[in-house]
Chains A and B, each alone.
Chain A
Amino acid sequence: MLLFIAWRNIWRNPVRSLLTIAALGGGVVMVILYAAFLEGMTRQMVQYATEISTGQMQLHRQSFVDDQDLYATLPWHYIERIERRLPEVVAAPRLYAAGLASAGDNSSGVMIKAIDPLRERRVTKMLDHLRSGEARFDAVSSNEGVERRYNVVIGTQMARNMHLNIGDELVLITQAADGSIGNALFRIGGVLRPVEPNFDRMGVLMSIEAYQQLMYLEEGFHELALWTQDLTALEQPQQPQQHVASLLTELHAEQPLDELGGAAMVRNWRQLTPAIADMLELSKAMVIIVGFIIVGLASLGMLNTMLMAVHERTHEFGILLSIGMSRWWLLLMVLFESLFLALISAVIGSIAGTFVARYFEQYGIDFSGSMPDGYDWGGIVFEPVMRGHFEPQHLLSSSLLMITIAMLASLIPSWRTVRMKPAEVLR
């Protein structure tokens, strides 16, 4: 009977109830949309953290991590051993060096990164992010047909700063591993879209073969990026990391590494990009905080509605108390009214929120007119089209958040009914 009375009571003033439902439902839509956009950005962040260049795990030697020690390499046979022991894992070796690039009157400090293009394509999608040219790293003969030059791929900002185009030549000067000054002429084969702010400004990507000829460093590699087909490794990277770590121990036992370079170590993407891992945690907290703010504001509508409803029906409540209704029944009745309003709002808000979030998942918000290369936020380069990602669980969490806050807001008017003195309100 209480539920029945409460249901009918909310339609005593349909305009007011509909306005309340609109406010609460609108709040749910906003929270769902906000959560969808944040989920979209989060996924892009994880994609950035893993797929673009980092991979799910990386191997290094301690000295390379600490000091970028050029000689802290891992032996080449590690790749084959890891892939044989862990068949679900693919690996891509990388080498690094710092140098100076010069083209015409322009020069710039650069970060040289050497990759095996075939392996790199299996581990990351870095080479798919070309802005112009091709991801080619082969050696071509110069116009005169005498000297062979390796193709390199550079970052967009560096191409702009140094006025470089596809086919232009670039001189790289660096200190080679044997102490000599390594220098060579390279050809710009492609320009990479901004995927990483540092690489965009000063990155030069070349083949391992080209690197070895420039740096005289053939003993091993600095970094091994790993990708496992097991997608749960993205969320819980600790387990495959342990497998690799135990294998490293075995390999070290078989053939100890030199002490200067330090031990081999494996780190997962959360450890490699702690800023992104932190931002992921932060984004989860942000959904809750912003959700509280949005729904909290919308719940003021509920508070107002129920305060008005209780105020208008003070005399009626006095009558109900007089004829023997207990104060708790009265409190429950008002709470049920709030609950009905909140439930209707949750259903309507969830339906509308699903449509809106799906729309922005498909079409997104296109900033490519003003920011063709996307936007850099917190060191992460995002796509120029900001897309949401709809997760059904957001419907439940947003609705529960709204219902909880709305019910908390309705406690104030409900409590007023408990404190009523029948003789006073009947007077």
Chain B
Amino acid sequence: MPLLTLEGLGKRYRQGEVEVTALHDVNLSVEEGEFAALVGPSGSGKTTLLNIIGGLDSPSSGRVHLNGIDITALSESELSDFRLLQLGFIFQAYNLVPVLSALENVELVMVMQGRHLHERRERAEHYLQLVGLESMMHRRPAALSGGQQQRVAVARALAAGPRLVLADEPTANLDSENATALLDIMHRLSHEEKTTFIFSTHDPRVMERAERIITLRDGVVEGDERIEQHRHGQ
């Protein structure tokens, strides 16, 4: 059974007098452990699709089943719990809490999950070590580079133990070196942790590492390609 299933997903919204179709009849399924890229030009519906999968936005039509749960039928508070327990998010602009240190940022989601201090501290340190920031875990975001902040965001997303990590253009603000390093970390952790990743991008470096490329254009799935050899090449 696939981890994620999208059935006839559509999203329309009004922009002034005009009705815009952001997504139209999107049907997809994603298996557990996949490292999939959503690609397409700006305005193709990548972020809208990620928002709907993440329960941040609601579809105009269709269903989203994640881990057997129809998230389109969940209430606001159920969605909030769902995001907390099942999903990890990585955003384009790092989006760490500026008043918390790297360690505290990673711990934050686990605090909300109600995990014990000892457990969350251990996990946070472990994941910061995995992303290579063990020596900087007490620094606040302002004292970290963009690449380092995004690595903290990856550690935050993974430390809470999600089934699915959604990343919206995670490398868009990073230089080539940092982007490559981040992708390597995400890819490695995806395999080590058996965590499913779906990320939107139009960065060719990201697409190179993806094991599946789903192409969107004008809100419609235009292509869906699995690249098995890429994984084997790693």
Q: A-side interface residues toward B, CB under 8 Å?
A: 1, 5, 8-9, 12, 315-316, 319-327, 329, 422-423, 426-427
- Smallest Cβ distance from B46 to chain A, in angstroms? 13
Pick the contact of B80: A1, A8, A324 (CB < 8 A).
A324
- Tell me if B's interface is mostly helix, strand, loop or mixed: helix
Q: B-side interface residues toward A, CB under 8 Å?
A: 47, 51, 54, 56-57, 76-77, 80-81, 83-85, 87-89, 91, 95, 97-100, 104, 107-109, 111-113, 156, 160
Pick the contact of B109: A324, A327, A423, A426 (CB < 8 A).
A324
- Smallest Cβ distance from A84 to chain B, in angstroms? 75
A-B contacts, 16 listed (Cβ < 8 Å): A8-B99, A316-B97, A319-B89, A319-B91, A320-B97, A321-B80, A322-B83, A323-B88, A323-B109, A324-B83, A324-B87, A324-B109, A324-B113, A324-B160, A325-B80, A327-B76
List the B side residues contacting A316 at CB < 8 Å.
95, 97-98
Q: A422-B56, A423-B51 are in contact. Are A323 and B99 (CB under 8 A)?
A: no
- Tell me if A's interface is mostly helix, strand, loop or mixed: helix
- Smallest Cβ distance from B159 to chain A, in angstroms? 11
New A-B pairs, 20, CB < 8 Å, besides A9-B99, A323-B108: A1-B104, A1-B107, A1-B108, A8-B100, A320-B97, A321-B56, A321-B80, A322-B89, A323-B88, A323-B89, A323-B112, A324-B80, A324-B83, A324-B112, A324-B113, A325-B80, A326-B81, A327-B80, A423-B57, A426-B51
Pick the contact of A323: B77, B100, B104, B156 (CB < 8 A).
B156
- Smallest Cβ distance from B146 to chain A, in angstroms? 16
**Interface pair B77/A326, CB less than 8 Å apart:** yes
List the B side residues contacting A321 at CB < 8 Å.
56, 80
List the B side residues contacting A323 at CB < 8 Å.
83-84, 88-89, 108-109, 112, 156
List the A side residues contacting B57 at CB < 8 Å.
423
How far, in whole Å, are A315 and B97 apart by their CA atoms in the complex? 11
**Interface pair A324/B56, CB less than 8 Å apart:** no
How far, in whole Å, are A51 and B126 apart by their CA atoms in the complex? 78
**Interface pair B99/A329, CB less than 8 Å apart:** no
Pick the contact of B81: A5, A12, A324, A423 (CB < 8 A).
A324
